[in-house]
Amino acid sequence: MTEAEAIERLRRIATDPAARGLADDAALLGNLVVTQDSIAEGVHFLPTDPPASVGWKLVAVNLSDLAAKGATPWAALLSLTLVGDSAWEATFIDGVEAACESYGLALIGGDTIALPAGSPRVLGLTAIGRAGASTPSRSGGRPGDRLWLAGNLGDSAAGLALLRDQGDATGPLVDIYRRPVPLLAVGQALAAHANAMMDVSDGLLLDARRLAEASGCSAEIDLDRLPLSAAFVAERGHHFQARLFAATGGDDYALLAALPADFDPVRLSLPSAPTLSCIGTLAAAAGYPLTLTSGGRPVELPEHLGHEHRGDFRSPMADRP
């Protein structure tokens, strides 16, 4: 069973309006935004990653979902798997604590289970945020909206590639892979204006297709407009293949927002503004919900748009270039 097939089956159960038809990364329960993300060893982090960074990442990826809804972090429930390595587990909790303190997130409970020693770790967090005046879903995009991206693409995937090539690699790309930063302030600022918004975690092209499908639209992405950091360009370049790598690598935790064509988010006053880039548009649905251009011309979509969880599992950490 694929992720999409599992979600389709679960929609028959998740009929409460808070679930938003399971077409979003978070539920809206009254004035609370609730999200849950898990990270698995060999899928979202390497066995050799420092445990404190794994704890930080678990919190950060959940807060990124809250950021995409314009929510303010409030509380969390931790699902902790113990596999007989007390030193690893204690340092992992240190990382969770550091992230919770950094973002004002109160740990209020959770669950702990023990597995046989050496079992792959699967760690989960449920994050709860206070909703703002507007909580954009994936499904509110309209034809004519411009697609804006807050943050850069490709840094985390490039950092992972460095670690796969040389396990002791260091530098800004490795740091971003291990310790993503949720864009909470910009999410709260954009939420008031966005017709649709989501975070980019599985790859820009895959997530843009999801937003377009949920909105009943098609998305056109201009590969030449994708924001690349100086560290990424120094490592991978900025040619076509490098940009395609950045667009499909995933683990970015940037924000993708569909904004009215007459609204320019660059005018927003933000305390710490990330890169804001207009990377495409939404149009009326027609055929496949995603098209890609470069040099002003359509280009063929890659075989894989990003990371999709499947029952016939093969670790994406083995697949990424």
pLDDT digit string, tens, across residues 145-189: 999 999 999 999 999 999 999 989 999 999 999 999 999 999 999
DSSP readout, 88-113? Answer: HHHHHHHHHHHHHHHHT-EEEEEEEE
CA 35 – CA 66 distance, rounded (Å): 7
Enter the tokens of residue 31. Answer: 């004035």
pLDDT at 181 (0 to 100): 96
pLDDT, tens digit (0-9, with 9 covering 90-100), for 255-312: 999 999 999 998 887 766 678 999 999 999 988 999 999 999 999 999 999 976 554 4
- Compute how many other C-beta atoms are within 10 angstroms of the C-beta atom of residue 310: 12
3-class SS of residue 291:
strand
pLDDT, tens digit (0-9, with 9 covering 90-100), for 120-136: 999 999 999 999 999 99
Percent of the chain with pLDDT over 90: 80
Read off the pLDDT of each residue in 19-28 and give the average, rounded to a whole number: 81
Domains and CATH numbers, the chain: 3-130 (3.30.1330.10), 146-319 (3.90.650.10)
Higher pLDDT: 315 or 269? It is: 269
Going by the DSSP 8-state scheme, the letter that residue 3 receives in this structure is: H
CA 114 – CA 112 distance, rounded (Å): 7
CA 126 – CA 299 distance, rounded (Å): 39
Instruction: State the average pLDDT for the chain.
Output: 92
Among 146, 142, 172, residue whose Cα is nearest residue 159: 172
Q: CB–CB of 203/321 below 8 Å?
A: no
- Radius of gyration for the alpha carbons in the chain, expressed in angstroms and rounded: 19
95 pLDDT more than 60: yes
Q: CB–CB of 45/54 below 8 Å?
A: yes
Please provide residue 199's backbone torsions phi and psi, each rounded to the nearest 5 degrees.
-90, 155
Q: Side chain identity at 131, as an amino acid letter?
A: A
Q: Please, which residues have CB within 8 angstroms of residue 245's CB and are 6 or more apart in sequence? A: 154, 157, 158, 236, 321
CA 217 – CA 194 distance, rounded (Å): 15
pLDDT at 280 (0 to 100): 98
Rounded (5°) CA angle 277-104-272: 30
Sign of CA dihedral 27, 128, 182, 37: negative
Rounded (5°) CA angle 169-176-87: 70
